[in-house]
Structure 1
């Protein structure tokens, strides 16, 4: 009975020969292939040298010198070496343990396809990096994590990696399969902005999440205060809580003091915070201690909470996903919204799909200009700082931001163009809201809410269609949040998004 491994099991093997003798080995293999059925395919990498980047130096280095890959049976290759090519030999895997038998290096079919795709499509464009792939997860100079993206189309479709800065160039850093099982090369691809990519949520340090930490802490406390009925006294009470924590960073002491002065409901609510929520509040107090007046300067007025927050504030009944909170000038509607994100865990190098519960906050009040205000309503979401920046963007800058599509690349031919970082290209839902006269949701500057004004996204409706209008406004705003968060472009607008979506 024949040995299946040796005689009929076809695998990709790695053969070695002397440097610059690869073509001679391929010629001999091709001749043998024509004479036997047990050698099916031969592949010699066309790009045998690569650019290697180490610290600030780049140099060329041989990567595949003397290497030929063969799809064949083990028996056929051993016979070939013995009879036709004494100058070649098989590549063996390194021993992992003492006393372990050495085994021939075998490349799985899937890895071989990925390797060939890399070598044939972009090996001449990338630079091999000598530092480990995990070193590129964090930008030490900026003090924040690098963005993680997935390429959508082209030769790199499906690749995931970090957007990293190399001198003045932003590159995509990713891994490719090496020619030994379990081995990988860390490489960088130039002009990352020319690639069609989608941004993934970094489960261990997302820029948006890091940027909303203080906002989440303040919003958490405001939600508690409003739910406990403090109304117009919400901000003074917020400042009092922060000042007490600055003087004595102990939530236990704070709760006892509040209980003693008669604020028992608030004391109980603060005592029920999770460990994660408590950490947010204490870290905010520490930041206030180091930067006196920070909270009062940045939260000097309170009208409607940001559109999307991790906490509801007012409690919801079991089985309910929506609750109302009455304010002096409007009614706040709080609705639970599940947001699903494509995510990546750097330490595990693993993709994930995460669904997190957030709470959408929108206001509703009678439409004052209506002949029958009791039958007409306007619903609005707080996009104050984001839209303020948009309304301040004037002239040609605004035209490019909203309507621009492509522009010629400087220093290249007139036919070479690239997409402009505009809402039209990268945030189509927002583009429609800002430019389409037929859009139900509108961007409204200086919208009056009592004695204050807000820049809002709003929708008008009749009493009979309030539920439909709520759905439309919440879905539109959530869609804008997701499209801004998943693009690597429009970075400045993602920064302003932090005031709209307090990302957890």
Structure 2
């Protein structure tokens, strides 16, 4: 803030109230006289004083900044000027919250004023004020899912967080802006979110990715336990058997007793030590299996290597360890703890923050012609990718931008293509860079079966470096795809790779 040594006060942006419709007149008056008066530096009259307001399916133009002018000055100079030259204008004061509180002038920090001017001059005519409260847009009742939450990362809306909502077949960003009265808020939507550069935030109270992986996490939990208990090739058959039993009798206690009687004491003991959250996950899956018989058998027909990132290891870890190996018939599974930090949002509190969650990365290792091959299971994700071809594949992988018609100005503008190059640069590099150590491999042989995998080859001496490289690359791809609001199809495929908690 600039110091005004002459009057021992500061230059600030003051909010000046005048008669509605007289804003330009007051602005012109101050503009003419400010060169003659010390300590009035600048005056700003919003160029867009009306906004679209949506009520139901209709939109109306209504005043927003009716009767307001912004002046950069010292308070003394501005008070004197208004007193001597414009008696019907006055500085707006903040509302007192207690009788003893001293009244203070309503001022706007320079950084906010700069952002406001940019917004008002470039975006105000494109924003629609919504009638319903902001919290109403947290959930999509038609789809039965929470709306996605994003943060704008650049431009005049930088830092704004809001929900992606569909209006008239277009996706818009719904967010809040502070009203003219301190403490008041307006709910607005920017109708075309694709114009903005945004990143997704994890909805801590109902994220689509977490909900979408719930059944997968339950199956993975059981598979991990079975493999850790040494069931090997019997894992798949035992998975089906356990789910059929639970679907008939939704009691883990009874299941553990039954397993003990049949001599399956290790498995029974492990299931008895499940946490409340883990037990709830299995019971919910069993309920679904009861209502949809054969669901697990139909959707998990091949169990080789677990999904790349899971919330449970399956193995009970020794204190201080962050990596274990589990021997399978045709490969060795390496399970490593990976801590992932995500930006999260709590809709009920309208607060954001960061959370650090422990996941477990699963990669396979096998010998091949004297060297080692490490591989990660991205089967369904890469299956979708390997089905793309020709110009469509080229656009998906390497597309940059395309010309589209701007309906508001009826002119062409450039729009970023939803490509890996633009929104998942690590994946783009793996798929296109001939020198990339990590490769996408179709139909990778694992015994008598095949998987679509990301793989890396190394000598025995460089095995640790190769392991790190594969895990770090796959984690980066997961995070890039999960945080973008684009690549929606690939975020859905990601549910089979990252069993998000």
Same fold (TM over 0.5): yes
**How far off is 1:18 after superposition?**
1.8
Mapped contact 1:163–1:173 kept (Cα < 8 A): yes
Mapped contact 2:38–2:77 kept (Cα < 8 A): no
1:366 — aligned with what? 367
**How far off is 1:250 after superposition?**
2.2
1:382 aligns with 2:377: yes
Aligned equivalents of 1:265, 1:461: Cα separation in 2: 37
1:347–1:411 Cα change, 3 Å: closer
1:130 — aligned with what? 131
1:59 — aligned with what? 60
1:476 aligns with 2:477: no
1:408 — aligned with what? 403
1:217 — aligned with what? 218
Q: How many residues align?
A: 493
The match for 1:418 among 412, 415, 420 is 415
1:431 aligns with 2:428: yes
Mapped contact 2:405–2:412 kept (Cα < 8 A): no
Alignment of 1:391-402 (within 5 A): 391-402=386-397
Aligned equivalents of 2:32, 2:422: Cα separation in 1: 54
Mapped contact 1:7–1:73 kept (Cα < 8 A): no
2:326 — aligned with what? 325
Aligned equivalents of 2:225, 2:136: Cα separation in 1: 41
Stretch deviating more after TM superposition (70-79 or 307-316):
70-79
Mapped contact 1:310–1:502 kept (Cα < 8 A): yes
Mapped contact 2:91–2:106 kept (Cα < 8 A): no
1:106 aligns with 2:106: yes
**How far off is 1:52 after superposition?**
0.8
1:276 — aligned with what? 277
1:463 — aligned with what? 460
**How far off is 1:333 after superposition?**
0.6
Aligned equivalents of 2:50, 2:412: Cα separation in 1: 32
Alignment of 1:176-195 (within 5 A): 176-195=177-196
Q: Secondary structure at the match of 2:166?
A: strand
Aligned equivalents of 1:411, 1:159: Cα separation in 2: 23
Q: Secondary structure at the match of 1:47?
A: coil
1:445 — aligned with what? 442
Aligned equivalents of 2:412, 2:121: Cα separation in 1: 26
Aligned equivalents of 2:485, 2:396: Cα separation in 1: 15
The match for 1:500 among 493, 497, 500 is 497
**How far off is 1:177 after superposition?**
2.5
**How far off is 1:78 after superposition?**
4.8
Stretch deviating more after TM superposition (231-240 or 341-350):
341-350
Aligned equivalents of 1:10, 1:427: Cα separation in 2: 45
Stretches of structure 2 lacking an aligned partner (at least 5 in a row): none
**How far off is 1:343 after superposition?**
2.4
Aligned equivalents of 1:348, 1:78: Cα separation in 2: 40
Aligned equivalents of 2:436, 2:12: Cα separation in 1: 59
Aligned equivalents of 1:95, 1:495: Cα separation in 2: 50
**How far off is 1:93 after superposition?**
4.3
1:479–1:81 Cα change, 3 Å: closer
2:288 — aligned with what? 287
Stretches of structure 1 lacking an aligned partner (at least 5 in a row): none
Aligned equivalents of 2:421, 2:112: Cα separation in 1: 38
Q: Secondary structure at the match of 1:323?
A: strand
Stretch deviating more after TM superposition (409-418 or 170-179):
409-418
Aligned equivalents of 1:12, 1:407: Cα separation in 2: 41
Superposed CA offset, 1:12-59 (max 9, x none):
443322221223333444566455445444332221111111221100
**How far off is 1:69 after superposition?**
2.8
2:204 — aligned with what? 203
**How far off is 1:320 after superposition?**
1.5
Q: What TM-score, normalized to structure 1?
A: 0.90
Superposed CA offset, 1:280-320 (max 9, x none):
11111121122111111111221110011111112222211
Aligned equivalents of 2:75, 2:155: Cα separation in 1: 36
Stretch deviating more after TM superposition (53-62 or 83-92):
83-92
**How far off is 1:364 after superposition?**
1.0
Q: Secondary structure at the match of 1:409?
A: strand
C-alpha RMSD of matched pairs (Å) = 2.5
Stretch deviating more after TM superposition (238-247 or 305-314):
238-247
1:430–1:74 Cα change, 3 Å: closer
Q: Secondary structure at the match of 1:503?
A: coil
1:259 aligns with 2:265: no
1:221–1:11 Cα change, 3 Å: same
Mapped contact 1:114–1:177 kept (Cα < 8 A): no
1:422–1:90 Cα change, 3 Å: closer
**How far off is 1:90 after superposition?**
4.3
Aligned equivalents of 1:414, 1:180: Cα separation in 2: 37
Alignment of 1:140-179 (within 5 A): 140-179=141-180
**How far off is 1:335 after superposition?**
0.8
Q: What TM-score, normalized to structure 2?
A: 0.91
2:89 — aligned with what? 88
Superposed CA offset, 1:140-168 (max 9, x none):
21211222222222332332222211112
**How far off is 1:63 after superposition?**
1.0
